[in-house]
Amino acid sequence: MASKLAALQRWVDEVAALTRPTRIHWCDGSDAEYQALVQQMLQTGDLVELNQQTHPGCYLHRSSPSDVARVEHLTFVCTKEHEDAGPNNHWMDPAEAHAKMDGLFADCMEGRTLYVIPYCMGPIDSPLARCGVEITDSPYVVANMRTMTRMGAAALARIEREGLLSNDSFVKGLHSIGELDPERRFIMHFPEDLSIKSYGSGYGGNALLGKKCHALRIASWQARSEGWLAEHMLIVGIENPQGQTHYVAAAFPSACGKTNLAMLIPPDGYRRDGWKVWTVGDDICWMRPGADGRLYAINPEAGFFGVAPGTSAGSNPNALASIARDTIFTNVAVTADNQPWWEGLPGEPALDWQGRAYDPANGPAAHPNARFTVSAKQCPTWSPKAEDAQGVPISAIVFGGRRPSLVPLVFEARDWAHGVLVGGAMGSETTAAATGAVGVLRRDSMAMKPFCGYHYGDYFQHWLSFDQPGAQLPKIFHVNWFRKGKDGKFLWPGFGDNLRVLEWMIARVEGKAAGVDTPIGTLPAQGELRTDGLALDGAALDELLHVDQAGWQAEAAAIGDYLREFGQRMPQRLHDELQRVASALAGGPRVSAVAS
Ligand code: OXD
Ligand code: MN
């Protein structure tokens, strides 16, 4: 096969001349192609068959033990001007980066097949969707890209159609697993020519180039020049008993429960009353103003590349139901009867993630970053609107992090500019379990620190630019499910009960809840947050909704220091906004209750 789009054919020919593969395969995305790849990987040992009685169509991939996660220190944004990448990215001069990468790619596919993967990020007929082509020598990457994107013939047809109209019709991603040598591993982004070069890793966001590399780093750059937003956010639809659905987009750093919130199961009482939750996306959200001034969002992905450990009947029954069949597992453990297993599941492991007999002395049985790759269509709460070409209208944007102290359960920003500040100031505290150091706060603005493909100052300016006359922007909220009491225990139950907080947000959007104004934003007034059926005493609720004025003054000062790190490109508007909050905090406990 070949492409009738000259620019695409020329690029594939050039890459083939550089990498010298034995074969070239253009992926059509068919079932037959997927099955043939699976058979081939079973033979080479790239995949291991799992118990087909309990998990039909499920396979296990064990990655190289030194290739188990994204590698931020080896990830670069290569803009012509260093300043354009910003202090939030590692930078390399594009000429130097191309030379380095082309040296690595030279002859690297000898004896291998070069796969050409045309893919579309977003519903294939959506004007919000964007296309790319990934070239890789990894059949595991092909199989995962088929699940995570709309891959194959239909995407190629769109790329060829759009290629007649524009030179920039698709993102070019070149990938090789190379020798899987961490010393010869780089993930390079060239936003100015919409291209990516990734060498030396076969894992997740390093290798499935449609995900973080395209849909966040390159897309955030594209989005700025085209007037939209590419964000690290889940999208969830909340349907009330009257059958009205509000869509909420929420940004949290890794390991803060995005997949769980996207697939939330309402508490019993809510279920009985008829509340429903619809999953549109669990990781990435592309949003654009519609003709009515509202922001409309699509999930550019078609599957979930979720963290397996901790996924259980208690934390996320919908995820568990999704992965009962036709799933690729990476770096999980297996039971004696060859079922996938990880910490948090019942039963016990026989082999660990490296295929060794399980021995607790070697650490957890499943790698902490073990993953499942599964089609979103298998999720019981998958929203029919997720395939809607126009996207879903967003009523609320939520920012949040892991903050054991200070930050209340929920507050609402007073307007868009304040909301941009709230997202920009976002942070998460590390836990002893993760790093050994307790309570170290890391700022991760809009959860985009590893993923924003350009200068954060310009990024905040781009966010502010959506506040135009006629815009019907979503309300912006901040949540913290992780506040702890004096006993060190979480004050809020989390998981399904987070719907109670979402319900309050929706009431605010609909103008049905009054709230209480505080210097940091609006909090639920007494009685507004439904706690019926919850074992939560009044003191815990008071603490969850407490604004510690002195603590927030220190926080505002720390946020100011952080914003100044971005120098001249940080919009003055955000400094002014912070100044407004700081002055209100300095003015004493100006906590005025609005009638509830
Ligand atoms: C992810 C991440 O894999 O954020 O989604 O690391
Ligand atoms: Mn993510």
Q: What is the pLDDT of residue 596?
A: 32
Residue 367 pLDDT > 60? yes
Nearest to 196 by CA among 225, 219, 180, 162: 219
Nearest to 288 by CA among 210, 231, 211: 231
Mutation test residue for ligand 1: of 63, 68, 70, the one with most atoms within 8 Å of CB:
70
Helix axes 456-464, 572-586, angle to 10 degrees: 80
Q: What is the pLDDT of residue 191?
A: 98
Ligand 1 atom 3: residue of nearest CA: 205
Ligand 1 atom 4: residue of nearest CA: 254
Residue 371 CA: which ligand 1 atom is closest? 3
Q: What is the mean pLDDT of the chain?
A: 95
Q: What is the mean pLDDT of residues 212-232?
A: 98
For residue 66, the CA-to-ligand 1 centroid distance in Å is 18
Q: What is the mean pLDDT of residues 110-138?
A: 98
Catalytic residue among 213, 256, 285, 379: 256
Per DSSP, helices labelled H in 465-522 are 498-509
Of the pLDDT bands very low, low, confident and very high (cuts 50, 70, 90), residue 440 is: confident
Q: What is the pLDDT of residue 256?
A: 86
Distance CA 343, CA 364 (A): 7
Residues in the chain: 596
Residue 472 pLDDT > 60? yes
For residue 401, the CA-to-ligand 2 centroid distance in Å is 13
C-beta contacts of 164-171 below 8 A and 24+ residues apart: 164/5, 167/7, 168/194, 169/7, 169/131, 170/8, 170/118, 170/130, 170/131, 170/132, 170/133, 170/194, 171/130, 171/131, 171/132, 171/133, 171/195, 171/196, 171/214, 171/218
Residue 258 CA: which ligand 1 atom is closest? 5
Of the pLDDT bands very low, low, confident and very high (cuts 50, 70, 90), residue 429 is: confident
Which pLDDT tens digit goes with each residue over 375-424? 999 999 999 999 999 999 999 999 999 999 999 999 999 999 999 999 99
Distance CA 218, CA 174 (A): 14
Count CB-CB contacts under 10 A for residue 99.
10
How far CA 285 is from CA of 36, 226, 228, 315, 592, in Å, comes to 32, 16, 11, 23, 36
Q: What is the pLDDT of residue 255?
A: 76
Mutation test residue for ligand 1: of 71, 254, 304, 444, the one with most atoms within 8 Å of CB:
254
Of the pLDDT bands very low, low, confident and very high (cuts 50, 70, 90), residue 456 is: very high
Per DSSP, what are the bridge partners of residue 522?
A: 412, 517
Contact yes or no for 246/189 (Cβ under 8 A): no
Tokens at residue 96, please? Answer: 């130097």
Nearest 5°: phi and psi at 135? -105, 130
Q: What is the pLDDT of residue 433?
A: 33
For residue 67, the CA-to-ligand 1 centroid distance in Å is 15
Of the pLDDT bands very low, low, confident and very high (cuts 50, 70, 90), residue 324 is: very high
CB of residue 69 inside a 6 A radius of ligand 1: no
For residue 194, the CA-to-ligand 2 centroid distance in Å is 21
Q: What is the pLDDT of residue 488?
A: 92
Mutation test residue for ligand 1: of 259, 283, 448, the one with most atoms within 8 Å of CB:
283
Q: What is the pLDDT of residue 1?
A: 63
Which pLDDT tens digit goes with each residue over 293-320? 999 999 999 999 999 999 999 999 999 9
**Among 48-62, 218-232, 579-593, which stretch is predicted with the lowest mean pLDDT?**
579-593
How far CA 438 is from CA of 26, 128, 157, 492, 548, in Å, comes to 49, 42, 52, 20, 21
For residue 372, the CA-to-ligand 2 centroid distance in Å is 14
Residue 232 CA: which ligand 1 atom is closest? 4
Contact yes or no for 379/263 (Cβ under 8 A): yes
Which pLDDT tens digit goes with each residue over 524-564? 999 999 999 998 988 999 999 999 999 999 999 999 999 99
Residue 595 pLDDT > 60? no
pLDDT cut 70: percent of the chain above it: 97
Nearest to 150 by CA among 180, 175, 126: 126
Of the pLDDT bands very low, low, confident and very high (cuts 50, 70, 90), residue 501 is: very high
CB of residue 283 inside a 6 A radius of ligand 1: yes
Residue 283 CA: which ligand 1 atom is closest? 5
Q: What is the mean pLDDT of residues 324-337?
A: 98
CB of residue 254 inside a 6 A radius of ligand 1: yes
Of the pLDDT bands very low, low, confident and very high (cuts 50, 70, 90), residue 92 is: very high
Residue 70 CA: which ligand 1 atom is closest? 6
The ligand with the least distance to the CA atom of 284 is 2
Q: What is the pLDDT of residue 439?
A: 63
Q: What is the mean pLDDT of residues 487-494?
A: 94
Of the pLDDT bands very low, low, confident and very high (cuts 50, 70, 90), residue 592 is: very low
For residue 68, the CA-to-ligand 1 centroid distance in Å is 12
Ligand 1 atom 1: residue of nearest CA: 254
Distance CA 5, CA 488 (A): 60
Residue 469 pLDDT > 50? yes
Q: What is the mean pLDDT of residues 566-573?
A: 98
The ligand with the least distance to the CA atom of 233 is 2
Q: What is the mean pLDDT of residues 282-294?
A: 97
For residue 301, the CA-to-ligand 2 centroid distance in Å is 12
CB of residue 205 inside a 6 A radius of ligand 1: yes
Is residue 256 among the annotated active site residues?
A: yes
Per DSSP, what are the bridge partners of residue 375?
A: 303
Which pLDDT tens digit goes with each residue over 244-276? 999 999 999 887 889 999 999 999 999 999 999
Residue 146 pLDDT > 90? yes
Mutation test residue for ligand 1: of 68, 71, 212, 331, the one with most atoms within 8 Å of CB:
212
pLDDT cut 90: percent of the chain above it: 92
